[in-house]
Chains A and B, each alone.
Chain A
Amino acid sequence: MSVTPQVPEIENASMEDRLYTVKYDDPGESHLDVKVQRICSDSCETSDCVSICPADVWRREDGEVPTIAYENCLECSSCRFACPYDNVSWEYPKTGSGVTYKHG
């Protein structure tokens, strides 16, 4: 009889594999941006956009303006609500493009 609890290993898919499960039609240009770059480079110390993004869209080195991998975006809009400086510009991706969920 085993004495250790049997917790099965859950094989979590990588972010790449996760994002691969949704259909994404590239609109050709980003629907996300920062409104004022200076706010990111001069004022922001917390990178909340990076912490909260469920799809690793936002990436940032300390004190830098974030790079935005908009082609990963799941259109949840968390970044828009999370930015303490209200510095995220968010548009709907161009008609017919962006994410499509099969199940939702």
Chain B
Amino acid sequence: MKLIKNQFHIPESLNAAKPPEIRNHSRADVRMMVLDSLTGKTDHNHFTQIGQYLQSGDLLVFNNSRTIPSHVKGYQDGNLVSIRLAKMISSNRWEALLINGKKKMGSVIRFEDHVEATINSLMNDGERVELVFSEKGIQLYDFLYRYGMPIRYEYINTPWPLHVYQTVYGSVPGSVEMTSAGRPFTWRLMKELKDKGVHQAFIQLHTGLSYYENDIWPNPEDQYEFFSVSDETAKTINDTKNKGGKIIAVGTTVVRALESAALAGSVEAKNGETNLYITENYPLQVVDGLITGLHEPEASHLHMLQAFVDKHLLLTAYEEAVREQYLWHEFGDMNFILPLGVK
């Protein structure tokens, strides 16, 4: 599949290194580029004005997975190494990325409080390892919450604490990276939308790693993620569709979960793992619109966006976002893609 790779460049000044509530006033203080998926026409607005593009009877679907402290430091053969947890396998086994360490089977990584992890195997992609921890369940969580940190990428130069990497509604811990598209929502904004008649529903999809460092990006087909769509959410989505309302996913994770639970144009309640890779020719069955951040040229998220909007229109809009100095990454500005005009 052809990527947009290298067709646009993000100047360093557009990396959002600080959360908007530090840069400005509130987490909702970000800009929003509204992109009509039918015509490619763009509108530039403030995120708090999102209600202007939604109608009574539309449905926002949020991912309420909560970020866990998935970056922890330890010692391998006396050398400091970093572990980035990628996905839980069982109560004491995790897929993880080992940074500055040796992917040697049987090698032991030692952490604080005498906790240890043994490298059990190398995953198929040759990047991740399977770790077996000496603790499990509550004891392992307790260790992670005591000593772990949120994953921070190179454009972040301040050790922001874990609570900065949460959406206001995150309440099902399990994501190793923040489900960042929902970050600008405040309870006030959610209430305003509800008062306008815009319904809300929640799913869970626990995110894996979106980047492996050293310019290596995971292939979504190799990356299985846990997701859960409840009976109640499935029913709300199907009712909304039957009544002609739009289904708006807050984040690419929601698209991945809902399309994984799609059944002939509707959604069924489902819990499981998904490696669904949505690209330009994928026929979306459920989701009409998407609220998302702005993504790097190499990110697989961009492939998913092409399922919503023609890639040339997307590229033109992204070039405009760069010109307009939109901010990138999890603390940055937003892009709302939805069908508005007449084709």
User: Are the chains A and B members of one assembly?
Assistant: no
B residues neighboring A (CB under 8 Å): none
